[in-house]
Amino acid sequence: MRPLVNLGLRLMEKPYLARVEDPAEIRERFERKARFWFGMPRDARLGWDRLGESGVPALWVHEAESAPVILYFHGGGYVFGSPRTHAAMLVRLARLAGASACLPDYRLAPEHPFPAAIEDARACFDGLITQGVAPGKVIIGGDSAGGGLALALLGELCRTGAPMPAGAFAFSPLTDMTFSGDSFRANAQADPMLPAQRAAELVGMYLRSADPADPRASPLFADFAGAPAVFLTAGTTEILLDDTRRMAQRLRAQGVAVEVRIGDRLPHVWPLFARILPEGRATMRDLADWITRLPALSGGS
């Protein structure tokens, strides 16, 4: 199934992402395609709420009462994607991990450039705590740009001395908006989904004149002393492969426990395809097992 998924992405998605100009168009298309590709379980229990003083909308996956909460930031290059496009994956993950999930509808570029997304992310974490969720019962997660956002939030919590979550995870995260990793060029042709040549436009829409090395945009440059355990994934043919490899190296150098899954020729954020991709289901099971073993959740020190 992996070759078929990669072929479909290479023939349909990568050329489209290489040419599309209108953010509204790509948002509408991704919402429509997500319903087909990702398949929401029929018995999912979903509901909307608002978090934080700014009232960030958030989609809740209600799978377990009085359970850990996965605070999940969707991907989409800070330009498209929504809680709806990623909810099916979080329903599956929440069930495997015995958790609930909260997916913020954080502000997107170009209408809301940096630092809007990280401000919303922090507001949502603080909002959960205000609602009575213990920090040690929160697992921060995300994919692609949302994975970078999750790690940037973790860096901000470390920087400000805030209470720590139980752990953090990221699927194929964008951690370096300077795009200095070797894989960004070496895998430009091999990556079946992401067009490397659009990176400068992404930076322009999201960062505008902000520094791409700002840790709130590029968590590869953040400090993580005192952070909880982190789980990362990337595929061998992804342009963002080195974003994960170097992120893991930086975290370990600062004393953070890290687990990394490097998937052989798997597409960008392959757990999204768990309905049809066995490797996606396997990674979700591995992550759920990792979540249940986190010291803050399992009673360890």
- Element containing residue 31 per DSSP (H, E): helix 23-38
**Short-list 154, 80, 133, 138, CA closest to 111:** 80
201 counts as catalytic: no
List, edge to edge, every strand of the sheet that includes 167-171: 46-51, 56-61, 100-104, 69-73, 138-143, 167-171, 230-235, 258-263
Catalytic residue among 74, 119, 218, 268: 268
Q: What is the dihedral of CA 80, 261, 37, 27, to 10 degrees?
A: 0
Neighbours of 2 (CB within 10 A): 20
**Gap between the Cα atoms of 196 and 183, Å rounded:** 10
The catalytic position among 63, 156, 238, 279 is 238
| DSSP code of residue 188 | T
Active site residue 144: yes
Residue 272 DSSP label: G
Q: Would you list the DSSP string of 101-112? A: EEEE----TTTS
Among 144, 172, 183, 218, the active-site one is 144
Whole-Å CA distances, 240 to 58, 60, 194, 236: 27, 29, 9, 9
Q: How far apart are CA 64 and CA 87, in angstroms?
A: 15
100 assigned to active site: no
Q: How many residues comprise the chain?
A: 301
Active site residues: 144, 238, 268
